[in-house]
Amino acid sequence: MFEALIKGLTLGLLLSISVGPVIFSIVKQSLNSGHRGGIAFIIGVSASDIALVLISNVFTEIFGYMVKHKNFIGIAGSFFLIVMGVYFIFFKKVKVDDSGVQVLQLTKKDYVKTFLSGFFMNTLNPAVFIFWLTTSTTLITLSIENRIIAFVTCLVFVFSTDFLKVIMAQKIRRKLTPHNIQILSRINGLVLLGFGLVLLWGLIFYGDKI
């Protein structure tokens, strides 16, 4: 059990500190939509991780099919990131009231959209497939009980660190004007666009070597 806990914490640490589009989007969602929007986003990311964990361990044939077609999924993911990047650069506006104060009220539809953006941004990232495939292979020697402990520990650790990112973003947001938040949103759009283009380039020219 202790070994499973250590492995779960180690894997959770690796996943939480990995640099990717998700970490930037967590901060962006928290700045644009407040802590509730940020939480909706990370719940979507966590739902994606849970689904991939279940598929990789319980529905191995489905996961194997997904891994076999990871280049196609990666291309879809890169286009998703490019579209999101263009949207945040040119079209996404920070909502303000008549006095110029940022408006953070979200509808149920907004929460669903934020949840889904987190889910698909994580699911369509081929690096996530590689991570969970490697993780499942690494833990295959453990008993079922210990594998459950390791995966649950990893997922709880990642969600906790993502939640801390939301809280930290909230503290930063209080010191920023709507104009500054708009600039950061566009920077996040550039980051998403850059990740999408680099991912697409790699898949087109080096996808057969992955």
Identify the H or E element spanning 57: helix 21-57
Q: How is residue 72 written in tokens? A: 């196609």
Q: Which pLDDT tens digit goes with each residue over 11-20?
A: 888 777 765 6
The reported pLDDT for the residue numbered 123 is 83
Please list, in sequence order, all residues whose beta carbon lies within 8 angstroms of the beta carbon of residue 25, skipping any fewer than 6 positions away: 41, 117, 118, 121, 188, 192
Structural domain for 45, as ranges: 2-14+21-209
Question: Which of 3-7, 58-62, 98-102 has the least mean pLDDT?
Answer: 98-102
Confidence of residue 64 (pLDDT cuts 50, 70, 90): low
Place of tokens 């369509």: 124
| CB distance 117 to 25 below 8 Å | yes
Tell me which residue of 170, 31, 1 sits closest to 92, measured CA to CA. Answer: 31
Percent of the chain with pLDDT over 70: 83
Q: Count of domains in the chain?
A: 1
Give the C-alpha separation, 179 to 185, whole Å: 10
The reported pLDDT for the residue numbered 98 is 46
Confidence of residue 103 (pLDDT cuts 50, 70, 90): low
| Whether residue 70 has pLDDT greater than 80 | no
Question: Which of 5-9, 25-29, 65-69 has the least mean pLDDT?
Answer: 65-69
Q: Which pLDDT tens digit goes with each residue over 136-194?
A: 777 777 788 888 888 999 999 989 988 998 888 878 777 777 777 778 778 878 888 88
Angle between helices 60-68 and 70-86 (to 10 degrees): 70
Buried b (16+ CB within 10 A) or exposed e, 142-165: beeebbbbbbebbbebbbebbbeb
Confidence of residue 122 (pLDDT cuts 50, 70, 90): confident
